[in-house]
A and B are shown apart, each in its own frame.
Chain A
Amino acid sequence: MRGFLLRRAATVPLTLLGVSLLVFAATELVPGDVARIILGREASQASVQALRDELGLDRPWFQRYADWLGGFLTGDWGTSYTLGVPVQDLVVSRLGQSLLLAGVAFTVLAPVAVGLGLWAGVRHDRAADRVISVGGLAFGAVPEFVTGVVLLVVFAVNLRWFPSGAQAPEGSGPLTVLWHLALPALSLVLLCTGYVARHVRAGTAVSVESAYARAAELRGLTRGQVVRRHVLRNSTVPAASALGVQLQFLLGGLVSVELLFGYPGIGALLLQSAVDKDLPVLQSAAMVLGLLYMVIVLGADVAYRLLDPRVRLGAVAS
């Protein structure tokens, strides 16, 4: 187990290096002169050249890459071209907003999806199972902004139960904040529920038909007791790995959900900085998101192994 953790942890810096190269390569693709983009069409050639010198744009790419990566690692993320504020403060505060939204969505997703999967698995091939399977499949295929827009029309415009913006006014209490986050979080939950429920269902359907579940039932345990004591524990392993996969989708979905609901998170920041060609913000936001992804993938991998006693105790090769 420890060997596995060390091996996995060792891949993090390597992958981060790859991500940084990818991010840097993407920003190199910007057509035209970055200094000209910042200063606008009206600027004189001399001031464009002065800015080029200041930003060091005339140096070879590997020097600029090394400088940028060194700066990122030491916490010097530069200044936003368009907003003129330190990139680090901006990215960190937007990341906090996104983590709040993603956290609310995940807190709803995990119990609901696992619960639906268990229910479908225990009652497999009955009506409830079919509704959950087909519903999950359909909502998982539809882009989150489409689900979000339908939710907006129904719950914000027609029924007026929820506000149409996700950002609560300054200084609102936690309940108001949650009330504003409900619709964007729900569109993310609907996107991810089907996949998790399907995986939990498959494991559960096998467990309830297994010899040990039947034996427990013959010993006189009720169906509920069998599910709680025997089936549930065997369903946590597929649940953990499926939730890990879906957490990545949830983070990816932040970009369009934040745009739709006008929420100032890191996904909206990434998009805005890409459109504005605000390279320092774009690079840092992409790096932070990449890092977050890696932490999640690693975390899911570790959780998956910790939950499975066969793997944890080394009976099965990790």
Chain B
Amino acid sequence: MSAAGVTATRVVTRPRRRFRVALGAGVALIAAWTVVAVCWPVLAPFDPEAQDPLSRFLAPGGAHLLGTDQFGRDVLSRMLAGARPVLQVAPFATALGVLLGTAIGLVAGTLGGIIDEIVMRVLDAVAIFPAIIATVLFVALAGRSVTVMVLVIAGAFTPIVARSVRAATLVEREKAYVEAARLRGGSTIREILPNIGPTVLVEATSRFGDAIFAAATLSFLGLGQPPGSPDWGASVSDNRLWLTNAPWTVLAPALAIASLVIGIALTADSLRGRRERS
């Protein structure tokens, strides 16, 4: 594996400038949506919940730049306001999952032996259960709330993060500086932790994208926040009934989700590429 891995990295390496462009575009998309999530009350031209029976299903253009939905609500304003719920759940779920996964992977990898074996087998068993099914199960049954969503998504991420952190730890553990720390009688975990930082960063970025994916899917499935409030996934789900007559009501939130997750994917891919080359 190691020989093939080295060759793969060399051959697969692409020009550095492309990574800069992808990274810049990705970070810009994430930053833009974050600003929108925080500042939408200033940016939105209309109250996203204000209904107007006289202007239902207006096509895009004019005062309503992206048109209106079946209650006469402004589609653009709802799209901007919808950035908030998704960006409320995803960072917390990611942080919790990465924290737990890093702790488990680091301890299992450093200690090794029977503890490592048991922990990894348990994680295998958890990871084999399809995340989306577990998520549907728990959120539908335990009741919809932000806390449940965060916990369930974080729980699904923990084994994934733990596996790659453990793999990185096993590589670091064999290096001389860890041996030196062990001989000095110091904490080897404290020595290893800073050196697996890049792995954790790449994991966190990838999982952040997955968290947006999961949160949007849950709200599409009707398991997100309470109905009525602006939410991308829920908007796609509600408006798909009017797909034929008012496709803009579906396309706006759908493309909003797409642009955010693609931004995160570009960022994660650039970071991964940078780490592999170094």
Contacts and interface: CB of A to CB of B under 8 A. Distances in A.
Interface residues of B, number: 51
Q: Is the interface of A mostly helix, strand, loop or mixed?
A: helix
Contact of B213 (A19, A141, A152, A203): A141
Interface of A: 14-15, 18-19, 22-23, 26-27, 29-31, 124-125, 130, 134, 137-138, 140-143, 145-146, 149-150, 152-153, 156-158, 164, 202-203, 205-206, 209-210, 248, 251-253, 255-256, 259-260, 270-271, 274-275, 277, 282, 286, 289-290, 293-294, 297
B12 A124 contact: yes
15 contacts: A18-B125, A18-B126, A26-B138, A134-B22, A149-B251, A150-B255, A150-B258, A153-B251, A157-B243, A209-B7, A248-B130, A259-B237, A271-B221, A286-B137, A297-B128
Nearest to A259: B221
Interface stretch (B46-54, B102-110, B264-272): B264-272
A145 B257 CA distance: 10
A29 B136 contact: no
B265 A23 contact: no
A290 B133 contact: yes
A275 B257 CA distance: 24
Given A29-B141, A259-B221, A252 B131 contact: yes
B134 interface: yes
B30 interface: no
Contacts of A253: 132
Contact of A274 (B136, B257, B261): B136
Contacts of A259: 220-221, 237
Contacts of A134: 22
Chain B interface, DSSP helix/strand/loop, else mixed = helix
B137 A23 contact: yes
Nearest to A248: B130
Given A124-B12, A137-B266, A157-B244, A286 B251 contact: no
A30 B222 CA distance: 17
B209 A141 contact: yes
A316 B148 CA distance: 45
Interface in B245-278: 247, 250-251, 254-255, 257-258, 261-262, 264-266, 269
A120 B129 CA distance: 33
B128 A282 contact: no
B14 interface: yes
B153 to A, nearest CB: 14
A164 B265 CA distance: 29
Contact of A149 (B125, B240, B261, B265): B240
B65 interface: no
Given A205-B8, A206-B11, A256-B220, A293 B129 contact: yes
Given A137-B269, A153-B251, A143 B240 contact: no
The listed residue with most B CB atoms (<10 A of its CB), out of A22, A142, A253, is A142
A145 B221 CA distance: 10
A145 B220 contact: yes
Contacts of B257: 142-143, 146
B149 interface: no
B258 A146 contact: yes
Contacts of A260: 220, 240
B143 interface: yes
B216 interface: yes
Nearest to B245: A157
Interface in B88-140: 124-126, 128-134, 136-138, 140
